[in-house]
Amino acid sequence: MPMAAKPNDLPPWPIFYYYFWKWRNDGTWERLNKTLVERRRQKANRQTSPSVGVIDSQSVKNIEWGVVPKGFDGNKKVQGRKLHIIVDTLGLVLVVVVHAANQHDSPAARGVLTSLARLGYERLSKIPADSAYGKNLAYWASKSFAFSLEVVKVSEFELADFQQGRLAVVPMRWKVERTFAWMNWSRRLSKDYQCGCSSHESFVYLSNINRIIKHF
């Protein structure tokens, strides 16, 4: 954080970064996010573990230096990285994996689903997704973790809205798109400023943590 941007009543910036790096490397941000997700779901009269998680990715532009790895997303015409997330039906981030934007969603999703399984949401079984995630991934997810990956197809009416530039609300998938919109409210997520993917993942968790805390 630049010295001019830091409030005067806070400690020196190296202290902030020491704990940020420490908690990033030992998984504290990830564990804190999971704990708060469970408490937020309890407050909403839901079970602590969701049964449904919606997966999607978003390509984000990066700064011009120091960002490794990165790539070019030919579909979105974006040079940078992808944020690959799974959210529950409340739009809370369950897991995030950041990777180069030129990596296709289907093979990259294996790392996302592996991270999700490691976190231990015991009830989670159904994962709606778009057509970028193919049958091979669905078979692998079922055999590896007993996840049911279901492709939510776009209807003819929704496709016509997309083609004409109108907003089309696709069942279940709109929940993860809403979360991406929420994440854009966080300045550090409006563009990829991080040298490493793990730091960017931590800022996604911090954004989600901040949003959850506002509801307590």
Per the domain annotation, does 3 fall within a domain?
A: no
In angstroms, the CA 30 to CA 99 distance is: 17
CA angle 39, 19, 195 (to 5 degrees): 100
Closest C-alpha to 57, from 1, 15, 95:
95
Per the domain annotation, does 21 fall within a domain?
A: yes
Confidence of residue 4 (pLDDT cuts 50, 70, 90): low
pLDDT per residue as tens digits for the range 10-27 = 788 888 889 999 999 999
Asked if residue 41 has pLDDT above 90, the reply is yes
pLDDT per residue as tens digits for the range 46-103 = 999 999 999 999 999 887 766 777 888 888 888 889 999 999 999 999 999 999 999 9
Burial of 51 (0-12, 13-18, 19+ CB in 10 A): middle
Per the domain annotation, does 170 fall within a domain?
A: yes
Per the domain annotation, does 4 fall within a domain?
A: no
pLDDT for res 153: 73
Q: Domain limits at 50?
A: 9-213
- Look up residue 140 and give its two tokens: 């692998």
> Residue 34 in contact with residue 48, Cβ under 8 Å?
no
Domain count, the chain: 1
Residues 6+ apart with CB under 8 A from 126: 51, 52, 53, 147, 148, 150
- Name the residue type at position 135: K
What pTM did the predictor assign?
A: 0.88
List, in sequence order, every residue forming a beta bridge with 72; answer none if it has no partner. 79
Pairing of strands 148-151, 126-129: parallel
Asked if residue 168 has pLDDT above 70, the reply is no
Please tell me whether residue 104 adopts helix, strand or coil conformation: coil
Confidence of residue 170 (pLDDT cuts 50, 70, 90): low
Per the domain annotation, does 2 fall within a domain?
A: no
pLDDT per residue as tens digits for the range 23-39 = 999 999 999 999 999 99
Per the domain annotation, does 164 fall within a domain?
A: yes
Per the domain annotation, does 174 fall within a domain?
A: yes
pLDDT for res 156: 44
User: Which spans in the chain are helix H?
Assistant: 13-25, 28-43, 105-119, 135-145, 156-163, 173-183, 197-213
The CATH number of residue 50's host domain is: 3.30.420.10
